[in-house]
Chain A
Amino acid sequence: MATKRAEMSWVRRNRMTLTPLLFLTPGILFFTIYVIIPILQSFNISLYEWDGLGEATFVGIGNYQELMTDRAFEVSLWNNVKWLALYLLAIPAGLLIALFLNQTIVGIRLYKSLFFFPFVLSQVVVGLVFSWFYLPREGLLNAVLGVVGLGPINVLGDPTLATYGIIAAGLWPQTAYCMILYLTGLNAVDPEQIEAGRLDGAKRWRMLWHVILPQLKPATFIAFVVTIIGALRSFDLISIMTNGGPFGSTRVLSFYMFEKALSEYGFRMGYGSAISVVLFLIMLVFIGYFLWSMYQDEKAARR
């Protein structure tokens, strides 16, 4: 009896440490097994030549040296840069549509949802929809171009155009996402500040720049985060629309990695991992920045 009471009081005394520990354990366990450890393993695998089945041979930084002279890697990396730069257009485009729709006419709620709903489609469906849209003979794009006397153009068959065609498809749902972020943001803009701005004679652009945008900063931050992540994650669209072609011109790192490690082009797990490590390091720069911003907010909130 006495020991039991002692035990209970031990639990009771340490309950502020034990409770969070118990509540965190399952989540951390899952996350460690499926996310944290695999990241470290990938770093390790990237130092080996391995087909996924047989013995792995240690090659040190051999895979990375090979990357330096790999023309396809260079193309992929360069395409990633294009994706990053052009994907960011979703942010101003989303803001523009949000400003256009931030009114209170009849049925505006339905209009907003319909503008938003490309985001709910899977990238696979978006990819299919756009590859049919681009079809040289059956596609609507060339039907429209034909009316004004242009075309036909085979967007996805032309190595110089294909990547831009895919990015355009990706911008469609991403712009919708940014739009909804800004619409919610605009709802929360302080009407008194707008009034004050009006009294000071601020109109349209000056108002937008000096009064509205500063208040939309949280929305812009999230839009920035999700757009960068989205740009570097681009895989589904490429796989569906061109499968990396024509002539490998639409590959990005995420796709090239998959091709090297897990497709008919061979099972080079080590080389694939090296590519994914490079992609991870690029992402890490942005993740570092995001976390730093969030940390500043946390510190401010604590004060």
Chain B
Amino acid sequence: MFPTPIEKRPRSAQITYQALVPLALIMWLLPLIAVALFSIRPLTDFTNGNYWGLPSSFEFFTNYGKVFLESDMPQYMMNSILITVPTVIGAVALSCMTGFALGIYRFRGNLIIFFMFIAGNFVPFQILMVPVRDLTVSAGLYDTKLGLVLFHIAFQTGFCTLFMRNFIRALPFELIEAARVEGIAEWRIFWYVVMPLMKPAIAALSVLIFTFIWNDYFWAIVLTQGPDAQPVTAGITSFNSQFVAQYHLMSAGSIVAALPPVAMFFLMQRHFIAGLTLGAVK
């Protein structure tokens, strides 16, 4: 292991290290801790200029209650869920298929199609903006959740295909050959041989895509407007203009908006990290 394990160092070094890690963590998360502290303060603290002293009262329930009861926040959260979940299902389903085709079969153009998916995934969003917006408007899907979902599925298929194809490539090919010798149809090989082995990849991708889509802001403001379809990332700006300069409420609002992907990460940590490293770094 590198660096030298701390257990092999003198006792004093161990104690210093154990004190240093939490300290470094607090420094690292300082801006976030500040927001969390803001979100439980009463309004009077801000008007009195008491930003960093002890809160004059503990207003966790009042502030977060206001976020849920007196704003469009619940609607925005619901929109985010209704956009994110179908996208995850769609993109994972499509990429299981493309990944299977590109990972198992040898045919001319295989690598070119694969590289097309990768390259498309790296493209700056702005070059797609005008035509995709046009397409969405003319299909009557502007300012609908479906419009966003369809685009997200298409775009995420690029990344998902990269991931799935590399994952399938690493599976033992003998399994598929054995199944072929048995005379099993190709689609049955996909469903009964390959799919069960893809479960970890599907889990990793789902968590990852969930986070990506939940956090999307650009496409949300390009393809939607208003509380009917906008997800929470875009909604938070109107939330903030509703409670302008009321930092306790804005802080509480952004913590609420950030929570679902954070929860997802802490619950599915192992899968999440496997996905992020593209499986390339084991």
Instruction: Name A's B-contacting residues (CB within 8 A).
Output: 15-17, 19-21, 23-24, 26-28, 30-31, 33-39, 41-42, 45, 52, 99-105, 108, 111, 113-115, 117-118, 120-125, 128-130, 132-133, 137-138, 140, 143, 172, 177, 180-181, 184-189, 191, 194, 204, 207-208, 211-212, 218-219, 222, 225, 229, 232-233, 235-236, 239-240, 253-254, 257-258, 261-262, 269, 272-273, 275-277, 279-280, 283, 286-287, 290-291, 294-295, 298
Contacts and interface: CB of A to CB of B under 8 A. Distances in A.
B128 A39 contact: yes
A180 B31 CA distance: 20
Contacts of B217: 122-124, 235-236, 239-240
6 closest Cβ contacts across the A-B interface?
A122-B215, A34-B154, A38-B131, A27-B98, A20-B101, A23-B101
Contacts of A132: 31, 34-35, 38, 247, 250-251
B117 A275 contact: no
Contacts of A279: 124, 126-127
Contacts of A117: 262, 265-266
Contacts of B22: 111
Contact of A222 (B21, B123, B250, B277): B277
A133 B34 contact: yes
A235 B95 CA distance: 27
Contacts of A27: 94-95, 97-98, 117, 157, 161
A257 B126 contact: yes
A186 to B, nearest CB: 7
Contact of A138 (B3, B30, B247): B247
A261 B125 CA distance: 13
A123 B251 CA distance: 15
Nearest to B29: A114
Nearest to A226: B276
Interface in B124-177: 124-135, 150-151, 153-155, 157-158, 161
Given A27-B94, A140-B31, A103 B5 contact: yes
Contacts of B46: 138
A33 B141 CA distance: 15
Given A105-B18, A280-B127, A140 B30 contact: yes
B85 interface: no
Nearest to A273: B130
A232 B282 CA distance: 28
A254 B5 CA distance: 45
Contacts of A229: 122
Given A36-B116, A99-B3, A236 B155 contact: no
Nearest to A109: B269
B31 A133 contact: yes
Contacts of B282: 184, 187-188
B192 interface: no
Nearest to B186: A19
A207 B135 CA distance: 55
Contacts of B31: 129-130, 132-133, 140, 172
Contacts of A283: 122-124
